[in-house]
């Protein structure tokens, strides 16, 4: 199959030319990702300037600051878990958002993928509708909905179900909800693609070979569509960890996530090295987690038993 695709492509463009096709993307990545990331890495080992920016003086303070607090007088270091907690919260919120997206996104994707082909496009278009509106505006309108004086609380009070407003806005719950809502289509689309390609004759085959419905789902459907589910989870989880708008607006800037922490360092705190270090640490953790995940997937894939 891969061979066929290669041959088909070479009819249109010879292999040497095909490599050129990748050039614009490579240039973009180099210029806009690798180079800036290099700067971030370098900045994280420099000393903060008084009014932002950096002074060219090597220092590991940014990384020390992540775990320890330096006493102003005697320069002694004491352990400070505050930043670690922000990372932990970010992971937790992103994980909860991913799980919620799975819960809602997989049935949705299944529904769309099992419609007649002529209808699927319309359903997919509906899934992307939220993206026609700017994320900031969507998040703000969500805030209006859930704040103490918002329609949800007003409605509940009107029904006499509560007396004091339900605290939704400016909680971790609100942030999780925001993340879930922002990234849901990223779950639906790859899962849809996987289910759409799924050969439902396999279900017949398994049913014929004495499997019950639950076993068919577990042993046949899920393993085959797993790449789509994994892709969806990564597409929600990774941007979810670094999310900035949802925690800023819905968390009220109190319950920081990594994204806010980093943003703060480049804005009011004017500690560019620490912001850079926080970004590098996040990147490292995500990459390590991905690596572990890929390894584990590779192992788990051996077992169709």
Partner 1 sequence: MRRSRRESAITVEGVRKRFGSGAQAVEALGGVSLEIADNAFFTLLGPSGCGKTTLLRLIAGFEQADAGRILLFGEDIGRLPPNRRPVNTVFQHYALFPHMTVAENVAFGLRRLGRPRAEVEDTVRRMLALVKLERLADRRPAQLSGGQQQRVALARALAPHPKLLLLDEPLSALDLKLRQEMRVELKQLQEETGITFLFVTHDQEEALTMSDEIAVMSEGRVQQVGSPREIYDRPKNRFVAEFIGQGNFLPVTLERMEGGEALCRTDFGAVIRVAAGEGIAAGGRATLAIRPERLRLVEPGDARAVFSGTVERLVYIGSDTDYRVRLDDGPPVDVRVQNAGGEATRYAGGERVGIAFDPAAARLLPEEE
Q: Which residues bind partner 1 (CB under 8 A)?
A: 199, 201-202, 204-212, 215, 219-220, 223-224, 301, 304-305
In whole angstroms, how close is the CB of 303 to partner 1 at the nearest point?
Answer: 9
CB 279 within 8 A of CB 40: yes
In whole angstroms, how close is the CB of 107 to partner 1 at the nearest point?
Answer: 22
In whole angstroms, how close is the CB of 304 to partner 1 at the nearest point?
Answer: 4
In whole angstroms, how close is the CB of 287 to partner 1 at the nearest point?
Answer: 27
In whole angstroms, how close is the CB of 225 to partner 1 at the nearest point?
Answer: 10
Report the SS3 class of residue 96: helix
How far is residue 79's CA from residue 248's CA, in Å, rounded to a whole number? 27
- Residue 19 or residue 301: which is nearer to partner 1 going by CB? 301
In whole angstroms, how close is the CB of 201 to partner 1 at the nearest point?
Answer: 4
Q: Which residues contact 235 (CB under 8 A, 6 or more apart)?
A: 183, 186, 187, 190
Report the SS3 class of residue 203: helix
- Residue 55 or residue 222: which is nearer to partner 1 going by CB? 222
Radius of gyration of the chain (CA): 24
Alpha-helical segments (H) within 114-244: 117-128, 135-146, 151-158, 172-197, 201-208, 213-215, 222-241
- Residue 223 or residue 242: which is nearer to partner 1 going by CB? 223
- Residue 206 or residue 236: which is nearer to partner 1 going by CB? 206
Residue of 296, 236, 250 lying closest to 91 (CA atoms): 236
In whole angstroms, how close is the CB of 297 to partner 1 at the nearest point?
Answer: 12
At residue 247's C-alpha, the angle toward residues 243 and 249, to 5°, is 120
- Residue 18 or residue 215: which is nearer to partner 1 going by CB? 215
Q: Which residues contact 233 (CB under 8 A, 6 or more apart)?
A: 98, 101, 102, 187
- Residue 45 or residue 198: which is nearer to partner 1 going by CB? 198
In whole angstroms, how close is the CB of 302 to partner 1 at the nearest point?
Answer: 9
- Residue 87 or residue 198: which is nearer to partner 1 going by CB? 198
Q: Give me the sign of the Cα torsion angle 54, 59, 63, 67.
A: negative
Q: Which residues contact 140 (CB under 8 A, 6 or more apart)?
A: 249
Report the SS3 class of residue 77: strand
- Residue 54 or residue 206: which is nearer to partner 1 going by CB? 206
């Amino acid at each position: 199959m891969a061979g066929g695709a290669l041959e088909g492509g070479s009819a249109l463009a010879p292999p040497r030319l095909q490599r050129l096709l990748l050039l614009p993307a490579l240039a973009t990545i180099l210029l806009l990702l690798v180079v800036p990331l290099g700067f971030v890495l370098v900045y994280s080992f420099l000393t903060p300037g008084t009014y932002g920016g950096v002074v060219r003086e090597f220092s590991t303070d940014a990384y020390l600051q992540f775990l320890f607090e330096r006493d102003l007088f005697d320069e002694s270091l004491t352990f400070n878990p505050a930043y670690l907690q922000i990372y932990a919260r970010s992971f937790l919120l992103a994980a909860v958002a991913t799980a919620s997206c799975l819960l809602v996104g997989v049935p949705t994707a299944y529904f769309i993928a099992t419609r007649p082909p002529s209808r699927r496009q319309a359903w997919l278009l509906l899934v992307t509708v939220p993206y026609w509106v700017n994320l900031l505006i969507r998040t703000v309108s969500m805030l209006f909905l859930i704040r103490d004086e918002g329609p949800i609380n007003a409605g509940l009070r009107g029904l006499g179900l509560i007396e004091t407003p339900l605290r939704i806005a400016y909680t971790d719950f609100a942030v999780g909800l925001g993340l879930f809502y922002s990234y849901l289509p990223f779950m639906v689309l790859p899962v849809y693609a996987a289910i759409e390609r799924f050969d439902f004759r396999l279900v017949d085959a398994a049913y014929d070979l004495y499997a019950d419905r639950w076993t068919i789902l577990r042993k046949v459907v899920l393993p085959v569509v797993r790449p789509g589910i994994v892709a969806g989870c990564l597409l929600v989880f990774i941007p979810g960890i670094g999310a900035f708008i949802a925690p800023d607006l819905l968390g009220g800037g109190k319950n920081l996530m990594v994204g806010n922490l980093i943003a703060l360092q480049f804005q009011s705190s004017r500690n560019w090295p620490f912001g850079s270090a926080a970004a590098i640490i996040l990147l490292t953790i995500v990459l390590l987690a991905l690596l572990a995940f890929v390894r584990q997937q590779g192992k788990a894939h051996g077992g169709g038993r």
